[in-house]
A = this chain, B = another copy of it.
Amino acid sequence: MRTTVLRPCKNTVLKGGLLANRADVAREKMIPYQWLALNDLVPDAEPSHAIENLRIAAGEKSGEFRGMVFQDSDVAKWLEAVAYSLAAHPDPELEAKADEVIDLVARAQQPDGYLNSYYTIVDPENRWTNLAYNHELYCAGHFIEAAVAYYEATGKDRLLQVVCRLVDHIDSIFGPEEGKKKGYPGHEEIELALVKLYRVTKDERHLKLASYFVEERGKQPRYFELEARARGTAESDHWGRKGHAYSQAHLPLRQQETVEGHAVRAMYLFSAAADLVQETGDEELFSTCEKLWNNTVNRRMYITGGIGSQAYNEGFSTDFDLPSSRAYAETCAAIGLFFWGHRMLQINPDRKYADVMERALYNGILSGMSWEGNRFFYVNPLAVSPEVCSSRKDHEHVKPTRQGWFTCACCPPNLARLLTSIQHYIYSCGEEGLYVHFFADSEVKSAVGGNSVKLRQRTDYPWNGRVQLELALEQPVEFSLAVRVPGWCQQASVKVNGEEIGDLQAATVKGYAVLTRAWQDGDRVELDLAMPIEKVYAHPKVQDGAGRIALQRGPVVYCLEEIDNGPDLHALVLASDPRFQLEMDPELQVPAITAQGYRLEAAADELYTRIPPRSVPVTIRAVPYFTWDNRRQGEMLVWLRSAGEA
């Protein structure tokens, strides 16, 4: 199989630009805000009770468990975000707070290593009896991810020890060996966490357990039915209604050909599968991942990188079924797709993965948070009418404005942990060189073939397609600098020290311009990505894209908002040959697009008439999708009708 797996370069610092701004907001606003939320100190927001649950589980307070069965995971994800934040921005006060939380978690751990505040408080006799619903392994996974991140950030291993004891306990309960339960989590997460743990501990049992959970899933007899019967419940209403595919347990993973069920669960499972491929080189498993990747991104993904097209299962329906206003497109699912893509990219450095990661990041992920970082979307639709949302049951899941917190508060901490570690995703190192996957004002220090390499990237991406890379080397080093030319870009040029590469195509491998030479200190590479405003078409099988276009510039998908265009956005039509113009939005401080168009106005008061509606010329204005709902609540629309499209 492929000889090398790339290593993400974590020694990266963001210097400025959009991602740095979002990471700053995550550190300065979201982490403190979420701390308040976890401690029930945010007025007008759903109380979390998550810290309180741990105190009760630790026997230090009395009271009842409150919140979701997976409430612990919000604390874990907060700790993980804090770890990334501390690595980039040391903060003794925050670290002390995190240490206290870790101590609390340690005290909530039971003598046998078990850790889960729900079962410890509510139902200690019935641990591990309801994997399908009750998320014990999921919470364990998030504690493991937090522990690894905190260890890597601070060198402190208290939480790592806690989760190692927890994993020992889990390993004593589950596995292929006789006498152990043949279970696997209802909500995947622990699988990828165990691979992370293995990479720190080098304990083969950790990798083996991850592999067991991935491979056992979906086998006959179905574990979720066995455990339901053991509990004395029928085969469960749940499985009858949503089916085993809800948890990707309808078939063994290697037999799955389409992405099914709950979108976040699917993404975490597939991420773990890619992790296993990285560790084991399993070609068959990679080909399973590849098949599922293609189905996901070519059949079941919104143009925003959002996935999950219905609320019912928080997940997938069928190929090309991507309704705009009833999208689920959970923030966490887009983040999960980003995680999975990143793992695939390290195995197979093909820009196709990075293109999808970028699509998700600049659209369906960043849309999940307000500019201020204190309001969040769980669901990220591509068309919103507040009136329809409030009058139709089938739009009940769609909030027309971001919320302060959620009963099921998975998305805000997931955003926080992604954004505080976003710099880890920009560069990778391989044996032959350094990969530049993404564009952000940043600096990376890495070792390439035993030599220390420092690279400074200067750019205002995604608002501008010019990217400058400058090397700082102690001595000349021969290596390949592989710079991604994004799939969205039709016209790119690359200069090395001011001289343009003549045949860029010939130098490009899987969408990366591979520049191999003996690099000198101070060498400069300039990338110029033409970034016109473009009309993007959906596949004709996508119903809600028929006769419509989306406006995109660079990786950023645009949308129309009522505040700019008035109500009834669906009555607007882009002119057949619009003159697109870019202007800075004075409030959002991002580039807005204007173009000629028409508004259809009724020829009569009647609902149905032979008289075509009148076309009134208007200027259509679009803003980046991820910035919508930051000014005033109202309608929003991505797929815009366009004149002159057949």
Q: Is the CB of A571 within 8 A of B540?
A: yes
A298 contacts B610, CB within 8 Å? no
Cβ contacts under 8 Å, A297 to chain B: 607
Determine whether the beta carbon of A538 is less than 8 Å from that of B608.
Answer: yes
How long is the Cα–Cα vector from A534 to B338 in the complex, in angstroms?
49
Interface positions, chain A 603-621, Cβ under 8 Å from B, are: 603, 605-613, 615
Q: How far is the CA of A391 from the CA of B573 in the complex (A)?
A: 31
Q: Given the interface contacts A547-B641, A571-B541, does A392 sit within 8 Å of B611 by beta carbon?
A: no
* A606 to B355 alpha-carbon distance, docked (Å): 12
Contacts of A568 in B (CB 8 A): 540-541
> Is there a chain B Cβ closer than 8 Å to A256's Cβ?
no
Complex Cα–Cα for A8 and B603 (A): 35
Cβ B394 vs Cβ A326 within 8 A = yes
The answer on a CB contact under 8 Å between B607 and A303 is yes
The answer to whether A641 and B546 touch across the interface, beta carbons within 8 angstroms, is yes
> Which residues 306-330 of A sit at the B interface, judged by CB distance below 8 A?
309-313, 317-318, 320-321, 326
Count of chain A residues with a beta carbon within 8 Å of a chain B beta carbon: 59
Q: Closest approach, in angstroms, between the C-beta of A216 and any C-beta of chain B?
A: 27
Does A255 count as interface, using CB distance less than 8 angstroms? no
Chain B residues, Cβ within 8 Å of A534: 610
1/0 contact string of A380-394 vs chain B (CB within 8 Å): 000001011001111
Contact of A646 among B538, B550, B643 (CB under 8 A): B643
Interface segment among A62-70, A107-115, A594-602: the answer is A594-602
Q: How many angstroms from the CA of A548 to the CA of B547 in the assembled complex?
A: 10
Name A488's closest neighbour in chain B (CB-CB): B610
Q: Which of A311, A490, A550, A568 has the most CB of B within 10 A?
A: A568
A28 at interface, CB cutoff 8 A:
no
A571–B392 alpha-carbon span in the complex (Å):
27
Q: Is the interface of A mostly helix, strand, loop or mixed?
A: loop
A311 to B534, CA, bound (A): 39
Contacts of A385 in B (CB 8 A): 543
When C-beta atoms are compared, the residue in chain B nearest to A599 turns out to be: B540
Proximity string of chain A (267-305) to chain B, C-beta cutoff 8 Å, 1 when within and 0 when not: 000000000000000000000000000000111010100
Q: List 22 A-B contacts (CB under 8 A).
A: A298-B607, A311-B393, A312-B394, A318-B391, A321-B392, A535-B610, A536-B608, A537-B608, A537-B609, A537-B611, A538-B608, A539-B606, A539-B609, A540-B601, A540-B602, A541-B602, A546-B571, A546-B600, A546-B641, A547-B573, A613-B646, A643-B646
Q: Is A570 an interface residue (CB 8 A)?
A: yes
> Closest 7 CB pairs between A and B?
A312-B393, A615-B646, A540-B600, A318-B391, A394-B394, A540-B571, A317-B391
Q: How far is the CA of A321 from the CA of B385 in the complex (A)?
A: 10
CA of A571 to CA of B541, assembled, Å: 7
A511 to chain B, nearest CB (A): 14
Chain B nearest CB from A593 CB (Å) reads 16
Chain B residues near A387 (CB-CB < 8 A): 318, 321
Q: How far is the CA of A646 from the CA of B309 in the complex (A)?
A: 29
Q: Which residue of the partner chain B has the closest CB to A611?
A: B537
A321 vs B388: C-alpha distance when bound (angstroms): 7
Do A393 and B646 have beta carbons less than 8 Å apart? Answer: no
Measured between beta carbons, the chain B residues less than 8 angstroms from A326 are 394
Residue on B with the closest CB to A597? B646
Is A410 at the interface (CB under 8 A from chain B)?
no
User: A537 to B612, Cβ gap below 8 A?
Assistant: yes
Q: Are A392 and B643 in contact (CB under 8 A)?
A: no
A645 within 8 A of B: yes
Residue A473, interface by CB 8 Å: no
Cβ-defined contact, A612 with B645, below 8 A: yes
